[in-house]
Amino acid sequence: MALGQPTVGDEELAAVAEVLRSGWLAGAGPACAEFERRFATAVGTGHALATANCGSALQLGLTVLGVRPGDEVIVGDYTFPATGHAVLHAGATPVFADVSPDTWCADPAAIETLVGPRTVGILAVDVAGQPGDFDAYRAIADRHGLWLFEDAACSAGATYRARPAGSLADLAAFSFHGRKGITAGEGGALVGDRADLIEHARRLHSYGIEPAISREGAEGLPIPVFSEAGHNFRMSEVQAAIMTVQLDRLPALLAARRAVAKRYHEAFADLDGVEPPAELPDREHAWQSYLLTIDPALGRDAVALYLRERGVQCTFGTYASHLQPVYGPQPSLPVSARAFASQVAIPLHANLTEQQVDRVIATVRDAVAASGRTQE
């Protein structure tokens, strides 16, 4: 049984066919422009830029925010290392903050202790699809004159105090990887309210010049001038067409994921040795992943092996970034390290049937029972 699975069909095929017939397949064309317009509206921001992936959106965002070598950026620790990598690619140093034990998002108290003379901003991650405490993050940022950047890779459709994920910071970056709630296989977006930042990122995502669509219909022969070095971080037109259809599907996909999460909550609430994830009452979770915390006495790896041997795909939660050697020696962050050592992600996607959910639940309960017997 698949850990994650995209929901695609005839509508996506029709959208791709329309792009193929149009003759414009390269990135940053009319399909991208339409998706950007609609995605900005969906996440409550003034502007959006479609990108090759979330990593490129993060890197572009840090660049236009002015991050330079020698700067420090505070990063929520429990995250796929693309977050910390983006800081490294900007020439700066990621300073990892330990996380709250309920959401596994950056702990505001931990962030406060890390602000120093070289700190320029806070990069806060919506772990597994649930935003952290962005009002507290904003208060810290404002108090110290820092920018705030939301890594919303997992959280399209999530909310924090009735505000959409993506609208909670100066900039936000999304992922449309195959395991996300809406997907084109790959892809990403950078969103925000400041037109100057998004337009600067738009130039940088096309090698440092305005995309070709900006010259459509111009008189004469406009020749772009390169004033700074950029990248090819563009989303293709095919991906953008798929993403526009996926955006239409988003409410139904979220409802399906939330229904599965509710079933899991009910099934695992009384299961000794297993802690279901928390959804805080002032938030709506996007449920990109459902992470169970397994008591060390049972052994997370033993539970995972049992599931896999019986055809139920699973994986670890995500990374305690400070433990990855690419970042060099780091101070201990115990909450994040415990989550890294004890969490397992079980199947969660919009295509799961009731029978499949029943099977996952039964197999998890059997795995816990078997691990408990092994420890006796």
Q: Which residues contact 219 (CB under 8 A, 6 or more apart)?
A: none
The pLDDT, as a whole number, for residue 222 is 85
Domains of the chain, with CATH numbers?
A: 10-248 (3.40.640.10), 250-375 (3.90.1150.10)
Which residue numbers in the chain have pLDDT < 50? none
The pLDDT, as a whole number, for residue 373 is 61
The pLDDT, as a whole number, for residue 218 is 75
- Report helix, strand and coil shares of the chain as percent, to nearest 5: 45, 15, 40
The pLDDT, as a whole number, for residue 214 is 79
Q: How is residue 213 annotated by DSSP? A: G
Spatial distance between the Cα atoms of 321 and 125, rounded to a whole number of angstroms? 12
Which tens digit of pLDDT belongs to each residue from 67-125? 999 999 999 999 999 999 999 999 999 999 999 999 999 999 999 999 999 999 999 99
- Going by their DSSP bridges, the two strands 283-284 and 188-192 should be labelled as unpaired
Q: ∠7-9-12 over CA atoms, to 5°? A: 100
**Backbone angles phi and psi of 122, in degrees to 5:** -120, 125
Catalytic annotation present for 262 = no
Q: How is residue 326 annotated by DSSP? A: G
Choosing from 180, 257, 300, 322, the catalytic residue is: 180
Q: Which residues make beta-bridge pairs with 119?
A: 72
The reported pTM is 0.96
